Amino acid sequence: MTDTPHSFPGVSYVKTPGRSAVSDNAPVEQTVSEVLAAVRERGDEAVREYAKKFDNSALDAFEVSNAERQDALDALDPQSRADTQFAIDNVRAFAEAQLTTILPLDVEPLPGVHMGHRVIPMERVGCYVPGGRYPLLSAPVMTIVPAKVAGVDEVIACLPPNAHPAMIAGCHLSGADRIFRIGGAQAIAAMAYGTETVPRSDKIVGPGNAFVNEAKRQVFGPIGIDQLAGPSEIFVLADSTGDAEMIATDMLAQAEHDVRTRVGLITTDVELAKAVDAEVARQLTGLSTAETAGTAWRDYGEIAVCEDEAAMIAYSDYIAAEHLQVHTADPHNLSQKLRNYGSLFIGELASVVYSDKCSGTNHTLPTMAAGRYTGGLWVGTYVKIATHQWLTAEGVKQVAPPAARQAATEGMEGHRRAAQMRLDRLQS
């Protein structure tokens, strides 16, 4: 993660983070490396050992049976089930709309040269569903539903053995084909390499703790991953029209995720900056999750004051926040000038919490400034765009001569022969 600078052109600070966002990951790397090697070599036996060591779990069977799925559904109160279904419906509808924008292609850029691509769903995807500090009922919805919309043949889900039963119900309602009670790095290893019980996945998606994240990093290559997601982030862009109470409320809502949540306000108004700082302190005195949110605010919270809108935009694009809210007099106009973010929330009525839970856009988003080069999880994560071409005789006449000449210039005689052969045969 890029550290927030204590000096940036046109920016001063009312509050800076109390700790560096960059931490020593060496102990995590070593532990994860050992877990991956053990699971790859010994399969279920190693998974069982780590489940006992890390989760105090001694399950005889990892996979959730159909009867256990039904029990989890029966235990889900009617309102929670209705709310979960509401979220599923919205995420599905948005994913279906996105999928319509990913189209097959067939073109003929030169006479007789036909090119195109197919949109191919993956065969099997593994979704990691974190247990976390709270039972995040939206977590399975965000990873499993878009996979099913994309047409993935088999979607498996792994969640910690001690996860709330409602999480199992959420996996089932979202469409998971198989559900396993395996958490942590050992779950990533099982999905990446396969065991006697868990099938090998082509791609692994979903957020998790530092061990899950590191495991995804280490298995990447033969196995695809969505991204490396760190602790959650929220920044708010605001001018003098900003509402200090609302801004503080939204920042603390995200800060309660984790003690390492990165929380910030970027504003052009120093009075608003001071008011938000005071409002955060006031709200923390009455927030039931203040132990977590307050620690995040103390250690990673910041308030930056920019000399003008241009400096605010430049600093925001440097931060590339996971969640970026825009609370200005003309939020739609300002939003068009922003480039780097995970997901954008335009105007004060658009709170991150709606996307986190149920509005339809995905809450699995890039952190640690990765918004500079990628967006978040979406239906396109689960498909491959694979190109193809075919040529007629006329097409060979178009491309063979320059291809052969280029190969000859490069000294690649085999390439030159392959290019020239078809042309020679056609001419004879």
3-state per-residue secondary structure call for 36-104: HHHHHHHCHHHHHHHHHHHHCCCCCCCECCHHHHHHHHHHCCHHHHHHHHHHHHHHHHHHHHHHCCCCC
- Per annotation, catalytic residue among 214, 279, 322, 348: 322
Euclidean distance between the first and the last CA atom of the chain, given in angstroms as a whole number: 62
Residue-by-residue pLDDT tens, the chain, 428 positions: 455 666 899 999 999 998 876 665 788 999 999 999 999 999 999 999 999 999 999 888 999 999 999 999 999 999 999 999 999 999 999 999 999 999 999 999 999 999 999 999 999 999 999 986 667 889 999 999 999 999 999 999 999 999 999 999 999 999 999 999 999 999 999 999 999 999 999 999 999 888 999 999 999 999 999 999 888 999 999 999 999 999 999 999 999 999 999 999 999 999 999 999 999 999 999 999 999 999 999 999 999 999 999 999 999 999 999 999 999 999 999 999 999 999 999 999 999 999 999 999 999 999 999 999 999 999 999 999 999 999 999 999 999 999 999 999 999 999 999 999 999 999 98
Structure tokens at 19: 């700790």
The C-alpha torsion from 49 through 181 and 162 to 359, rounded to 10°, is 140
Write the burial class of residue 395 (CB in 10 Å: 0-12 exposed, 13-18 middle, 19+ buried): buried
Residues 6+ apart with CB under 8 A from 191: 126, 128, 156, 158, 198, 200, 201, 204, 223
Query: Which domains, from first to last, does the chain contain?
Result: 11-24+230-375 (3.40.50.1980), 43-99+122-226 (3.40.50.1980), 392-427 (no CATH)
Write the burial class of residue 398 (CB in 10 Å: 0-12 exposed, 13-18 middle, 19+ buried): middle
Q: Which amino acid is at 183?
A: G
Structure tokens at 205: 């998606």
- Per annotation, catalytic residue among 164, 172, 257, 323: 323
Q: What is the dihedral sign for C-alpha 134, 158, 140, 258?
A: positive
Contact 174, 159 (CB under 8 A): no
Tokens 């200005």 correspond to: 328
Is pTM beyond 0.85? Reply is yes
d(CA 182, CA 188): 9
323 catalytically annotated: yes
332 catalytically annotated: no
